[in-house]
């Protein structure tokens, strides 16, 4: 397989995974207005748990280092476990943070939670092998079914990612376009009004927080099963803001916008520029990339705050069924 | 002492609420008879808004009891009080900006298929059936309030008066037993205020909806309310018809002016 094709397939895989991330963060912030500055922590917890669940038992003094679980679980089970782990963390954070805190204080809380989890995972080596991280996570179905080389494995893994992304898309769209999504958007606009109409704010924000975290966890699981390794340098504070940039650029509140954002920011700016070399300091390209993403965010927030594809206006089509009684009308939602 | 009775949809008993050292509401008792339009008036700082916020669960009370249709709802969270049938509006119209006028109304019904995440994913057909049924009700309300032409507009783009109308329409969409109107006429031009007044009277007569009306426009209070409660300095000063209150010296001194 040619290097270019291999590279494009890698980008396609990251595209699918980052779309899943962006849909999840969009449920947190774009729909519900929860300022979550530690989204990547849910990605990481999902990745770690899926990874160690898929790996075999840790060997004492062995090559793979120390880690928990080691259950040898097959593919569809391990990402589900990753999603559940992320959901549990979200429930814990939400229980502390979502009940009473205003959005800005909640944002601070999420940053603190991210730092705590990051430091604990790094220093408590018995969990996920500390700063060195886990490695040797088996590729889904490969040892049992495909028996492909690392290069050949790109295509089946892309198919797996696309299937998972398709399911995630359907779930995200169903939630966004339902009465549930309407209530979340109402809470985003004004909590007091939603409460005055009988909506339990805490319950809705909690459920949205957990669902968004499941997207993060499942995406993280795909990442670890693709790369095969995962350590704390892969999920610093900065990683959260790459997903944020994708969401803001794409258009918060719009799942199609999330796809565009995932393409523009993480894929085009971050991954596609990885192998561009320019003379000078070895880290120059990385710094330019960071500046470019920052500049892109500033431009979008200044000139197109709703993002490239803004939230869709819901228009209801009315088919008057009776001309005599003006009051009776039937209709259903159409995309506007 | 106010005692809960079947004829009163709302009974408030010895309600007290302080902020720091300020006794905003200092032992207030009153009833709202079922099917009535009851007025609540008083000078600024009398404690009317605190009463509204306490009744609707927006802040806890220090002591006292609130009984809504036979159920003790004292210190219930706001969403539970709303589910019990008490829907409030806000002094400054609080529209949900990036929801359309239609969506503002569709939000209000208490029981909606698809209001939970699982239903949203798995019962899409039930949702479509419910929405097409509910849209009819929303259309009727919007036509009544002259908002039908604006139905697909973002609520944030409405004029101030239209937002007040939307606030009322949205409250009615929730099928309330008691509507708490917090200064519905504030910032509304006289023509629109007349419209709002007519709407409130018609809804009361046709559908038997009970209103508790907090309002500074005394002409409208007089026209709508057969019973008016006057508050001053956190207490009830007087109760009665508006014409009787105009004769009451305490009320004149505290609020109406000489």
Q: What would the pLDDT profile of A148-159 be if each residue is shown by its tens digit?
A: 777 778 888 999
Residues of chain B found within 8 Å of residue A327, distances taken between Cβ atoms: 136, 139-140, 143
Residues of chain A found within 8 Å of residue B121, distances taken between Cβ atoms: 171, 174-175, 178
pLDDT of residue A267: 86
Nearest to A314 among B100, B116, B170 (CB): B100
Cβ–Cβ under 8 Å, residues A131 and A68: no
Residue A147 clears pLDDT 90, i.e. is over it:
no
Residues of chain B found within 8 Å of residue A188, distances taken between Cβ atoms: 98
pLDDT of residue A64: 65
The residue-averaged pLDDT of B185-213 equals: 90
Residue A326 clears pLDDT 50, i.e. is over it:
no
- Residue listed under structure tokens 């650029």: A249
Q: Do the chains contact at B136 and A182, CB–CB below 8 Å? A: no
Nearest to A207 among B89, B108, B117 (CB): B117
What backbone torsions phi and psi does residue A319 show, to the nearest 5 degrees?
-115, 100
Q: What does the pLDDT look like over B9-45, one tens digit per residue? A: 999 999 999 998 889 999 999 999 999 999 999 888 8
- Closest-CA residue in chain B for A180? B115
Which residues fall within 8 angstroms of residue A177, CB to CB, at 6 or more apart?
A314, A333
Residues of chain B found within 8 Å of residue A196, distances taken between Cβ atoms: 56, 58, 78, 82, 87-90
Residues of chain B found within 8 Å of residue A318, distances taken between Cβ atoms: 135, 139
Which residues fall within 8 angstroms of residue A162, CB to CB, at 6 or more apart?
A16
Cβ–Cβ under 8 Å, residues A24 and A40: no
pLDDT of residue A336: 37
Is 0.95 exceeded by the ipTM?
no
Nearest to B132 among A207, A332, A336 (CB): A332
The residue-averaged pLDDT of B35-59 equals: 91
Cβ–Cβ under 8 Å, residues B222 and B242: yes
pLDDT of residue A193: 93
pLDDT of residue A284: 81
User: Alpha carbon B190 to chain centroid distance?
Assistant: 20
Share of chain B above pLDDT 70, in %: 97
Of the two residues A170 and A331, the one the predictor is more confident about is: A170
Interface test with B, best of A193, A199, A314, A328 (most B CBs within 10 A): A193
Backbone φ/ψ region at B257: left (φ over 0), alpha (ψ -120 to 50), beta: left
Residues of chain B found within 8 Å of residue A336, distances taken between Cβ atoms: 152
Please name each of the domains of chain B with its CATH number: 8-95+159-256 (3.40.50.300), 100-157 (no CATH)
User: Domain boundaries in chain A?
Assistant: 3-335
In what side-by-side order are the strands of the sheet with B37-41? B86-88, B178-182, B210-214, B37-41, B227-232, B235-240
Nearest to B116 among A180, A192, A194 (CB): A180
- Residue listed under structure tokens 């993060």: A216
- Residue listed under structure tokens 């018809």: B241
Q: Do the chains contact at B119 and A182, CB–CB below 8 Å? A: no
Q: What pLDDT band is residue B154 in, cutting at 50, 70 and 90? A: very high
Nearest to B107 among A186, A315, A333 (CB): A186
Nearest to B88 among A196, A199, A336 (CB): A196
Q: Do the chains contact at A197 and B170, CB–CB below 8 Å? A: yes
Helix (H) / strand (E) containing A26: none
Q: What pLDDT band is residue B4 in, cutting at 50, 70 and 90? A: low
pLDDT of residue A201: 93
Q: Do the chains contact at A171 and B79, CB–CB below 8 Å? A: no
Q: Three-class SS of residue A156?
A: helix
CA distance B162 to chain A (A): 17
- Residue listed under structure tokens 């429930």: A91
| CA B235 to each of CA A218, A331, B46, B50, B56: distance values in angstroms, whole numbers, following the listed order | 58, 50, 8, 12, 19
CB pairs under 8 A between A and B: 137
pLDDT of residue A7: 86
Interface test with B, best of A23, A179, A330 (most B CBs within 10 A): A179
A110 C-beta neighbours (distance < 10 Å), count: 23
Residue A34 clears pLDDT 50, i.e. is over it:
yes
Q: Do the chains contact at A180 and B97, CB–CB below 8 Å? A: no
Cβ–Cβ under 8 Å, residues A306 and A315: no
CA distance A199 to chain B (A): 5
pTM equals 0.90
From CA A223, how far away is CA A226, in angstroms rounded?
5
A321 C-beta neighbours (distance < 10 Å), count: 12
Residues of chain A found within 8 Å of residue B124, distances taken between Cβ atoms: 174, 178
- CATH top-level class of A3-335: mainly alpha
Counting every residue written for chain B, the total comes to 258
In chain A, the DSSP E strands lie at 134-135, 229-230, 314-319, 330-335
């Amino acid at each position: 397989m040619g290097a270019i094709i291999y590279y494009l397939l890698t980008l396609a895989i990251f595209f699918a995974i980052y779309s899943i991330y962006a849909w999840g963060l969009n449920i947190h912030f774009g729909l519900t207005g929860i300022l979550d500055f530690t989204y990547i922590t849910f990605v990481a917890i999902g990745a770690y748990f899926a990874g160690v669940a898929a790996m075999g038992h840790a060997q004492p003094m062995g090559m793979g280092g120390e880690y928990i679980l080691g259950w040898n679980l097959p593919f569809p089970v391990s990402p589900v476990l990753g999603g559940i782990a992320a959901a549990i963390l979200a429930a814990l954070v939400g229980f502390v943070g979502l009940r009473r805190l205003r959005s800005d204080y909640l944002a601070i809380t999420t940053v603190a939670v991210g730092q705590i989890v990051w430091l604990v995972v790094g220093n408590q080596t018995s969990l996920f092998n500390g700063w060195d991280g886990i490695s040797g996570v088996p590729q889904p179905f490969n040892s049992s079914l495909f028996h492909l080389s690392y290069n050949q494995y790109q295509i089946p893994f892309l198919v797996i990612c696309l299937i998972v992304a398709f399911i995630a898309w359907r779930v995200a769209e169903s939630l966004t376009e339902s009465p549930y999504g309407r209530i979340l958007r109402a809470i985003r606009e004004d909590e007091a009004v939603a409460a005055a109409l009988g909506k339990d704010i805490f319950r809705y924000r909690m459920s949205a927080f957990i669902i968004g975290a499941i997207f993060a966890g499942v995406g993280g699981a795909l990442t670890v099963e693709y790369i095969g390794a995962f350590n704390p340098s892969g999920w610093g504070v900065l990683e959260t803001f790459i997903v944020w940039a994708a969401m803001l650029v794409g258009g918060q509140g719009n799942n199609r916008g999330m796809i565009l954002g995932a393409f523009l920011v993480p894929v085009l700016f971050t991954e596609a520029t990885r192998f561009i070399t320019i003379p000078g300091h070895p880290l120059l390209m990385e710094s330019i990339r960071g500046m470019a993403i920052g500049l892109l965010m500033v431009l979008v927030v200044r000139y197109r705050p709703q993002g490239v594809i803004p939230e869709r206006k819901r228009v209801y089509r009315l088919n008057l069924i009776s001309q005599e009684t003006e009051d009776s009308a039937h209709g259903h939602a159409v995309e506007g | 002492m106010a005692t809960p009775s079947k004829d009163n949809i709302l009974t408030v008993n010895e309600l007290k609420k302080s902020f720091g050292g300020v006794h905003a509401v200092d032992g207030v008792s009153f009833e709202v008879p079922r099917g009535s339009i009851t007025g609540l008036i008083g000078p600024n700082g009398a404690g009317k808004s605190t009463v509204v916020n306490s009744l609707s669960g927006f802040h806890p009370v220090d002591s006292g009891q609130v009984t809504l249709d036979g159920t003790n709802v004292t210190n219930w969270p706001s969403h539970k009080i709303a589910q019990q049938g008490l829907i409030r509006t806000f002094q400054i119209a609080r529209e949900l900006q990036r929801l359309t006028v239609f969506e503002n109304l569709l939000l209000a019904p208490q029981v909606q298929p698809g209001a939970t995440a699982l239903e949203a994913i798995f019962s899409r057909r039930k949702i479509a059936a419910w929405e097409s049924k509910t849209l009819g009700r929303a259309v009727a309300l919007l036509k009544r309030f002259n908002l039908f032409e604006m139905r697909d507009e973002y609520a944030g783009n409405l004029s101030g008066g239209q937002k007040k109308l939307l606030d009322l329409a949205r409250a009615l969409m929730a099928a309330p037993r008691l509507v708490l109107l917090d200064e519905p006429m504030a910032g509304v031009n006289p023509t629109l205020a007349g419209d709002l007044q007519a709407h409130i009277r018609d809804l009361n007569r046709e559908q038997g909806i009970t209103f508790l009306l907090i309002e500074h426009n005394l002409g409208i209070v007089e026209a709508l309310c057969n019973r008016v409660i006057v508050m001053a300095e956190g207490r009830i000063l007087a109760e009665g018809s508006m014409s009787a209150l105009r004769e009451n010296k305490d009320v004149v001194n505290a609020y109406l002016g000489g």
